[in-house]
Amino acid sequence: MAGSRSSQTYSPGPRRPHVYAANPHSYRPPGAGETDLEQIGVGYLEKLRPLVGQLHNKIDLQPDEPLLQIVVIGYGPNNYGPEAWLLEYRVEQQQVGAAANYLQTHVLRPRFTQIYPPGKHEAHTIVEVRFPNNLQVVPLLGLLQQNDPRIAKLRGSDPRFAKVLETIERGQANKANPEDSADFMRALLPLLAGKAAFIEGTLGETVGFRWVVPPEEPIERAKQEPGKDTDRPPDAPTLRRKPNPNP
């Protein structure tokens, strides 16, 4: 997934072995991803096309602002370690005929940007993706650098949290204890979110994905249409929150 980058694309970290297409010498457009990541991006693109095609009014977007962003997190092969990519889908609109208020909307191929790991000599710290990217709120890393009172209070409330913050400040966030880091974020997110809803999850190379704060979803079973998912075993993997047997 560590493909070629455009001048607008951050190119961090040691490059892991390529996953070549059928012709590794063929031209790959700037900002494209490697074959496996490209498949994910194109899969979403095919789902978006018919939906975006129904948009005929003027879309109020800033220049180069994406309509949709997707963050892909995973682990690279051959001990490459964790990595994160940002997929951005932009659109273009054209006037159809003489009707100035009727536009034809096309979604473009996604742009791929690797946002983790950092460069070889750069600090390992918090990676934050904001949408839209012109939000005026101070990002989390900025709050840490400013010693925001809310964070300072958390630092003094638990020695584990103080240690997590120390590793972040040293640029060694990748060495922080994962469980302590998750607990720190669990304590911090309500302070940052205020009345807004939020979710939190963790992803490990061996244990996979798990919710820390899952989405608020109805747990009642949806009515199934005949022939749909009738063979799904009851213990099949799911991201849906399971009810607590011991409330």
Residue 16, pLDDT score: 42
Predicted pLDDT of residue 25: 33
Q: How confident is the model at residue 140 (pLDDT cuts 50, 70, 90)?
A: very high
Residue 219 lies in a domain: no
Q: Is residue 221 part of a domain?
A: no
Task: Indicate the pLDDT class of residue 79, thresholds 50, 70 and 90.
Answer: confident
74 belongs to a structural domain: yes
Whether 111 is in a domain gets the answer yes
Same domain, 31 and 142: no
Domain annotation covers residue 20: yes
Q: Do residue 163 and residue 177 come from a single domain?
A: yes
The range of the structural domain enclosing residue 65 comes to 1-122
Q: What is the DSSP letter of 172?
A: B
CA distance 216 to 199: 9
Does residue 247 lie in a domain region? no
Nearest to 239 by CA among 201, 186, 191: 201
pLDDT of 12 > 50? The answer is no
Q: Do 18 and 33 lie in a common domain?
A: yes
**Considering its fold, how many domains does the chain have in total?**
2
236 part of a folded domain: no
pLDDT in tens, 88-128: 999 999 988 777 788 999 999 999 999 999 988 899 999 99
Could you tell me if 4 and 117 lie in one domain? yes
Assess whether 149 and 99 both reside in one domain.
no
Domain boundary pick from 90, 122, 154: 122
The stretch 124-148 carries a mean pLDDT of 89
Q: pLDDT (tens digit, 9 = 90+) per residue, 144-166?
A: 999 999 999 999 999 999 999 99
How far apart (Å, rounded) are the C-alpha atoms in residues 180 and 191?
A: 17
Residue 116 and residue 169: Cα distance in Å, rounded?
Answer: 17
Domain match, 102 and 129 both: no
Which residue, of 122, 149, 166, is where some domain finishes?
Answer: 122
Same domain? For 8 and 86 the reply is: yes
The reply to whether 93 falls in a domain is yes
CB 31 within 8 A of CB 115: no
State the pairing for strand pair 208-213/81-89.
unpaired
Among 161-165, 216-220, 225-229, where is mean pLDDT lowest? 225-229
192 and 110, same domain (yes or no): no
Q: Which helix (H) or strand (E) is 52 found in, with range?
A: helix 35-52
Tokens for 94, please give them: 């054209």
Whether 113 and 22 map to the same domain: the answer is yes
Give yes or no: residues 98 and 166 share one domain.
no
133 with 100, same domain: the answer is: no
Q: How far apart are CA 17 and CA 2, in angstroms?
A: 8
Which tokens sit at 1?
């997934």
Report the SS3 class of residue 78.
coil
Both 108 and 58 in one domain: the answer is yes
pTM of the model as a whole: 0.71
Query: Dihedral of CA 32/36/37/38: which sign?
Result: positive
